[in-house]
Amino acid sequence: MPDLSTSYMGLKLKSPIIAAASGLTNSLEDIIELEKNGAGAVVLKSLFEEEIVTDMDRDMNKMHSESYLYPETMEFYEDYDVEDTLTNYLKLITECKQQVKIPIIASIHCVTSHNWPYFAKSLEDAGADALELNIAILPDDPQQTSEEVEKIYFEIIKAVQHEVTIPISIKISSYFTNLTATLTRLADTGVKGIVLFNRFYSPDIDIENFDVVSAPKLSLPNEYFLPLRWIAIMSHRIECDLAATTGVHDGATLIKMLLAGASSVQIASTLYKNGFAHINGMLDELKSWMTSKDFSSIDQMKGMLSQSKSIQPAGYLRIQFMKHFAEK
Ligand SMILES: Cc1cc2nc3c(=O)[nH]c(=O)nc-3n(C[C@H](O)[C@H](O)[C@H](O)COP(=O)(O)O)c2cc1C
């Protein structure tokens, strides 16, 4: 029987499938079920900066918002006994740590480096095994340079690293000018994992009602090509572990991501569509494939088809359809 365990961010996972941050990782009951169905770890739904700041605005309306920057704000906040977003989040971590064995990765959504270090510390103190920083910045200021935008990522990481000792990963988009350089620099900060790539809310247009509406929330199976390319390109170039997310819907795609060099995959849409039992189905597919190819562990196959190991490394760098591909 092949061994499906893997190591991710220094955590030992019983399987390479992580339940990605979503509405399915927001309650103890669901997390218990995810563990029962084979998940190797769970990333809790992100704690959103906007939600906390709104709570704090409500509860501390006498304080100026600038004061969020200072430790005494947290002291004030800790003394303030209210049922709110942060309190509930910390409670969920504590309950999970009492009732499930798989690692619990807390997730925070940051857009500035100011507020997060203190919240990150609270999550660590509540027992989170690791911390995922969901960093999503949509630059819309034409005066801001790409260096200025990228600097924010590094400031957030540095500020959080200063406060916590648990492993930190970052979950990002692919929207960088030189992704290879940025990922290399991000890995050099000492983060233990990088999750490629987050899939965000997208707007769509309702042509009947002239309205801006939400695009479909769930991914399609063919969306995995982008993370696959970048995991293959980066997995042997950087030290930290990579987790693949977006479009991993079945066992075959899980296998591809591991061959490209991912240590784990993070799935959400396929769980919404197919239920938690689908995790075990995907793991069964992985097991039979490993048996048929004579692999006894994930380590033996991981990264076998990364860009540096593949016999066709240029395949990962090709972006144009050549003339003969375009012919009918
Ligand atoms: C309903 C829903 C809620 C999500 N909430 C979060 C979140 O709180 N934080 C986060 O980092 N990603 C969030 N995601 C993104 C997922 O974690 C995942 O990375 C993304 O959906 C791509 O994986 P998939 O193709 O398996 O869905 C959410 C996705 C969905 C569908």
Q: Looking at residue 323, what is its pLDDT?
A: 63
Q: How many angstroms separate the alpha carbon of residue 34 from the centre of ligand 1?
A: 15
Which CATH number do you get for residue 120?
3.20.20.70
| Residue 129 pLDDT class (50, 70, 90 cuts) | very high
Short-list 161, 85, 176, CA closest to 116: 161
Alpha-helical (H) ranges within 100-131 are: 116-126
* pLDDT tens track for 98-107: 999 999 999 9
In-domain check, residue 182? yes
The domain of 247 spans 6-326
In-domain check, residue 79? yes
Q: Looking at residue 116, what is its pLDDT?
A: 82
Q: Looking at residue 321, what is its pLDDT?
A: 81
Burial of 28 (0-12, 13-18, 19+ CB in 10 A): middle
Structure tokens that stand for 269 in this block: 């849409």
| 48-52, 74-78, 234-238: least confident range | 74-78
Q: Ligand 1: which of 17, 18, 22, 133 to mutate, most ligand atoms within 8 Å of CB?
A: 22
CA distance 120 to 285: 37
In-domain check, residue 239? yes
Is residue 41 within 8 Å of 320, Cβ to Cβ? no
Position in ligand 1 atom list of the atom nearest CA 200 = 15
Q: Looking at residue 224, what is its pLDDT?
A: 98
Q: Ligand 1: which of 47, 107, 198, 265 to mutate, most ligand atoms within 8 Å of CB?
A: 198
Q: Is the CB of 36 under 6 A from ligand 1?
A: no
Q: In the chain, pLDDT over 90 holds for what percent of residues? A: 79
Q: Looking at residue 112, what is its pLDDT?
A: 77
Give this prediction's pTM.
0.91
Q: What's the structural domain count of the chain?
A: 1
* pLDDT tens track for 178-222: 999 999 999 999 999 999 999 999 999 999 999 999 999 999 999
Write the DSSP string, 141-171.
-TTS-HHHHHHHHHHHHHHHHHH--S-EEEE
In-domain check, residue 132? yes
In-domain check, residue 173? yes
Short-list 178, 145, 28, 42, CA closest to 94: 28
Instruction: Classify strands 11-13 and 6-8 as parallel, antiparallel or unpaired.
Output: antiparallel
The dihedral through the CA atoms of 215, 18, 89, 118 has a sign that is negative
Q: Is the CB of 263 under 6 A from ligand 1?
A: no
pLDDT at 165 over 90: yes
Nearest CA to ligand 1 atom 19: 198
Q: How many angstroms separate the alpha carbon of residue 61 from the centre of ligand 1?
A: 32
Instruction: Classify strands 203-206 and 211-214 as parallel, antiparallel or unpaired.
Output: antiparallel
Give Cα separations from 311 to 87, 178, 235, 306 (angstroms). 52, 24, 16, 9
CA distance 317 to 303: 17
In-domain check, residue 1? no
Is residue 81 within 8 Å of 91, Cβ to Cβ? no
CB atoms within 10 A of CB 327: 7
Instruction: Give me the amino acid identity at 96.
Output: C
Nearest CA to ligand 1 atom 14: 22
